[in-house]
């Protein structure tokens, strides 16, 4: 019983001296003390207080807290002086009641009312004209929770005055609305952000709370979807029906099981501001590079709901790293922009992908989501056509690049795999965790991962540089072997294949696809005496390299 004020009984005597007599009849907290009267009276008087549970006489004068509101004159107590001789007779004299400690936040009203003592109580069935005190909270400040009051009952008979004090705390509940916070369930069981309306210090013994709101029609409602709701606790969740904000007035009427008057609180104004939420893109949504070139994604709309409705600062971070941590520092592309209210900003991304981390900020509020930009299945014909085009039709083996792509990637830029917790068409990563990527298994980077055209063109360009290198190495070998014929352009391709593959040895003449062999003769310096220098496949010096080149040729599509 918060703020309950301990009171004390103070009997004020005028001559002659009086004697206390205490009678405890109940434990419910309504208290009274009787004071003896002089011999001129035929019996001693006893004060009977009629509280919320009926009439009582007790040896203490602290009453229970009484919950009040700003509307009703809430019954506090009725008092009457009787003979203490079990005759149930009204004690003679001039009786009355007043407030000796006046309320600070409300007003006490005094009336005389006929009350019948209920069965089981003192002088059950008897009706007396009680001096009754009622209370109404009148203070505009509704944040104060209690108002202690002390009443004094008097009886003046034949020059003797009997007094008795009765203290109580007028308790005032009030409505407080929490900020919109953790998700709760609405009437359909759907998770929804809620703002709880709470009745602070609710009346004890309340049976139900009937909540109503005004304003906010079609926008705000209680969690049952309606503008009114009955609860058995002192809390009613308010939800936004459409994610928008609005201002409402919330009231609540508290009812008791039976007998007592109901109490009403409010209306209390409250502005419901939904939390800032990123409405789009949604968490874990996917925007593949699905345009006709397989390099650009569908437009991504950026939009918020809730918040203050002002400017929203967006920060976008697109990050890519394979499951094995390639590149060692994640490739990142960042951007930022501003939207106003629930306006939408649309962005497309070209030749980049990975995990999109989106953060929206409005003042102190922020929200973030992650989405993904994966690749898409590119038809094999598209890839091989591009490779053939890049290499050129005048080459000794015009479709040679399809062989490289077949060995390196089985002609795929993207394949179904899991990354960032989502299975999608991610760039084809090498088995070691992704040191190499895509169609031509180039060193992993954002560009080579998500721009298949760059992957192809740079792979082909690299191969062409290997052809040039092969010519140089071959010329060097020819110059030191008299009579060794120059390599054909197709043989140079084989040399270049070894130089492109993982078993390349650079200019090391012993690591090439071909090495000179003195066939039918003996070597003497740069000469093959009685024989002929010929090129042979270097399976002795670089079997792995030769095997790679052969595999490429056998894999041409």
Interface residue list for another protein (CB under 8 A): 407-410, 428-432, 435-436, 441-443, 462, 465-466, 469, 499-508, 539, 543-544, 547-548, 550-551, 554
Report the nearest approach of another protein to the CB of residue 182 (Å).
39
Q: Is the dihedral of CA 339, 344, 347, 353 positive or negative?
A: positive
Other Cβ atoms closer than 10 A to 418: 10
Are β-strands 235-240 and 422-427 bridged in parallel, bridged antiparallel, or unpaired?
Answer: unpaired
**Is the peptide bond preceding residue 267 cis, with omega within 30 degrees of 0?**
yes
Give the nearer residue to another protein in terms of CB position, either 106 or 459: 459
Report the nearest approach of another protein to the CB of residue 335 (Å).
29
Give the nearer residue to another protein in terms of CB position, either 44 or 466: 466
DSSP letter at 85?
S
**Residue ranges with strand state E in 341-490:** 345-347, 354-362, 365-373, 414-419, 422-427, 436-437, 442-443
Report the nearest approach of another protein to the CB of residue 324 (Å).
11
Give the nearer residue to another protein in terms of CB position, either 135 or 500: 500
Give the nearer residue to another protein in terms of CB position, either 256 or 503: 503
Report the nearest approach of another protein to the CB of residue 356 (Å).
25
Report the nearest approach of another protein to the CB of residue 387 (Å).
15
* Strand order from edge to edge, sheet including 94-101: 66-68, 160-172, 146-157, 94-101
Give the nearer residue to another protein in terms of CB position, either 37 or 466: 466
Give the nearer residue to another protein in terms of CB position, either 81 or 500: 500
Report the nearest approach of another protein to the CB of residue 463 (Å).
10
Report the nearest approach of another protein to the CB of residue 444 (Å).
9
Report the nearest approach of another protein to the CB of residue 524 (Å).
24
Give the nearer residue to another protein in terms of CB position, either 174 or 466: 466
Report the nearest approach of another protein to the CB of residue 443 (Å).
4
Count Cβ atoms within 10 A of the Cβ of residue 158 and give its class: 0-12 exposed, 13-18 middle, 19 or more buried: exposed
Give the nearer residue to another protein in terms of CB position, either 263 or 429: 429
CA distance 179 to 195: 6
Q: Which residue has the tokens 């919950």?
A: 67
Measured CA to CA in angstroms, residue 530 lies from 126, 256, 483, 523, 524 at distances of 148, 123, 12, 9, 10
Q: How far is CA 311 from the centre of its chain?
A: 21
Give the nearer residue to another protein in terms of CB position, either 423 or 544: 544
Are β-strands 277-280 and 300-305 bridged in parallel, bridged antiparallel, or unpaired?
Answer: antiparallel
The set of residues, in sequence order, having a beta carbon less than 8 Å from that of 93 and lying 6+ positions away, is: 45, 81, 155, 156, 157, 158, 162
Residue 91, both tokens = 């004690």
């Amino acid at each position: 019983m918060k703020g309950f004020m301990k009171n004390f009984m103070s009997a004020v005597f005028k001559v002659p001296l009086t004697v206390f007599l205490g009678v405890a009849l109940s434990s419910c907290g309504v208290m009274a003390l009787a004071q003896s009267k002089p011999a001129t009276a035929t019996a001693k008087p006893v004060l009977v207080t009629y509280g919320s549970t009926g009439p009582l006489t007790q040896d203490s004068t602290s009453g229970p807290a009484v919950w009040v509101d700003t509307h009703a004159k809430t019954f506090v107590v009725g008092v009457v002086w009787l003979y203490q001789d079990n005759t149930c007779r009204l004690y003679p004299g001039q009786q009355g009641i007043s407030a000796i400690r006046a309320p600070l936040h409300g007003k006490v009203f005094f009336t005389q009312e006929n009350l019948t003592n209920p069965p089981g109580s003192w002088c059950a069935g008897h009706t007396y004209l009680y001096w009754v005190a009622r209370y109404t909270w009148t203070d505009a400040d509704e944040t104060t929770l209690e108002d202690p009051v002390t009443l004094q009952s008097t009886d003046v008979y034949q020059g003797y005055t009997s007094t008795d004090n009765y203290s109580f705390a007028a308790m005032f509940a009030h409505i407080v609305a929490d900020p919109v916070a953790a998700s709760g369930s609405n009437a359909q069981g759907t998770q929804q952000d809620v703002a709880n309306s709470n009745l602070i210090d609710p009346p004890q013994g309340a049976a139900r709370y009937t909540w109503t709101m005004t304003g906010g029609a079609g926008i705000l409602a209680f969690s049952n979807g309606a503008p009114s709701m009955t609860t058995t606790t002192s809390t009613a969740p308010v939800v936004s029906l459409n994610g928008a904000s609005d201002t409402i007035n919330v009231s609540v009427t508290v009812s008791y099981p039976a007998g007592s008057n109901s109490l009403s609180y409010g209306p209390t104004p409250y502005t419901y501001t939904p939390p800032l939420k990123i409405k789009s893109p949604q968490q874990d949504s996917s925007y593949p590079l699905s345009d006709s070139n397989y390099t650009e994604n569908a437009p991504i709309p950026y939009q918020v709901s809730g918040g203050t409705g002002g400017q929203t600062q967006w920060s976008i971070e697109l990050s890519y790293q394979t499951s094995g941590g390639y590149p060692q520092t994640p490739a990142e592309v960042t951007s930022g922009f501003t939207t106003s209210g629930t306006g939408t900003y649309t962005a497309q991304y070209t030749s980049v992908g990975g995990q999109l981390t989106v953060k929206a900020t409005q003042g102190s509020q922020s929200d973030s989501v992650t989405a993904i930009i994966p690749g898409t299945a590119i038809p094999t014909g598209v890839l091989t056509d591009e490779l053939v085009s890049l290499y050129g039709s005048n080459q000794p083996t015009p479709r040679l690049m399809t062989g490289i792509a077949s060995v390196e990637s089985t002609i795929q830029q993207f394949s179904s795999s899991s990354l960032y917790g989502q299975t999608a068409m991610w760039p084809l990563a090498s088995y070691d965790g992704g040191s190499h990527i895509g169609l031509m298994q180039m060193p992993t980077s954002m560009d080579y991962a998500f721009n298949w055209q760059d992957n192809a063109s740079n792979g082909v360009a690299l191969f062409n540089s290997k052809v040039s290198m092969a010519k140089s190495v071959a010329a060097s070998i020819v110059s030191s072997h008299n009579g060794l014929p120059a390599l054909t352009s197709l043989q140079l391709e084989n040399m270049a294949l070894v130089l492109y593959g993982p078993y390349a040895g650079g200019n090391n003449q012993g690591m090439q696809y071909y090495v000179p062999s003195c066939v039918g003769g003996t070597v003497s310096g740069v000469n093959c005496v009685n024989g002929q220098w010929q090129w042979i496949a270097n399976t002795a010096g670089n079997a792995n390299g030769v095997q790679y080149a052969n595999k490429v040729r056998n894999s041409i599509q």
